[in-house]
Amino acid sequence: MRASFEPAPNLLGARQILFLCAGLFATALVIFWIGRATDLDLVLADSLYDAGAGTFPWRHAWLTETFNHVILKSILTLAAAWFVATAAWDVFRPRAGRQAIDRLRLRVVGASSVLVPLVISMLKQASVAHCPWDLARYGGTQPYLRLFEALPLGVPAGHCLPAGHASSALWLVSLCVYWLPGRPQGARQVALLALLLGGLVGWMQQLRGAHFLTHTLWSIWLACAVVLIVIVSLQRLSARRTASVPEYLAETVEDAA
């Protein structure tokens, strides 16, 4: 019972948070520059498109369409559901003996596994950008639009930016909290592996003509931003809740234990 009144140590300190925010700001500028000032998206998509056949050769390949888009997504969705269910159960029926830091970590991962795909999906539904396979350049009918370009009159919104499928893996970056705060190097390695997996999932969608490179890069950026916000929000909430417990109540429960 006593542990329930002990505050969880911060997963990230103030300096670490500021450093990560600065990194997010810098990478956002780089991704924005790639999309607005370069043709890298088109160059990569051109290299994957078979103009003679009029299609993306990997569009219906088993690896990209069945394994990546169905099997792997299902596995990752089940893993996310497990974390959500476990975190929710711990809210209503806290497990005796679970340390405050472990409870905080579980809730960060549970919340991230919902919010990362949700935020990316909402932004995708609000976007006007089209997927490569919908563009006239690749056998479709729609124009190519850069980020924040106005949608031409009569052209429907494409709802393809950022890359939604990659988010099925990108929430895994939140697992880095199990190495925080004591092992920051391990946390960085876990986060990098999760981002690489999410990037690979996104790349296989690019092979199919479903997304451009910047679509995947924005999803990676958003996943990092969402997880950081979740960590900061939940560790502050944990601290406020602990501070709000009356001292006499904590002492009474400790004596009873």
The 10s digit of each residue's pLDDT in 157-199 is 999 999 999 999 999 999 999 999 999 999 999 999 999 999 9
Give bridge partners of residue 142 from the DSSP assignment. Answer: 135
Q: How far apart are CA 127 and CA 185, in angstroms?
A: 36
Q: How far apart are CA 91 and CA 97, in angstroms?
A: 14
- Whether the CB-CB separation of 132 and 45 falls below 8 Å is answered with yes
Helix 184-208 / helix 40-48 crossing angle, nearest 10 deg? 60
The CB-based long-range contact list for 22-26 (8 Å cut-off, 24+ gap) reads: 24/221, 24/224, 24/225, 24/228
The values of phi and psi at residue 152, to 5°, are -60, 150
Q: Which of 80, 92, 110, 90 is nearest to 234 (CA)?
A: 110
Domain boundaries, the chain: 8-245
Name the pTM for this structure.
0.91
Digit-coded pLDDT (tens) for 27-41: 999 999 999 999 999
Digit-coded pLDDT (tens) for 14-30: 999 999 999 999 999 99
The values of phi and psi at residue 123, to 5°, are -65, -35
Digit-coded pLDDT (tens) for 84-140: 999 999 988 888 788 999 999 999 999 999 999 999 999 999 999 999 999 999 999
3-state secondary structure of 244: helix
Digit-coded pLDDT (tens) for 228-254: 999 999 999 888 876 665 554 444 444
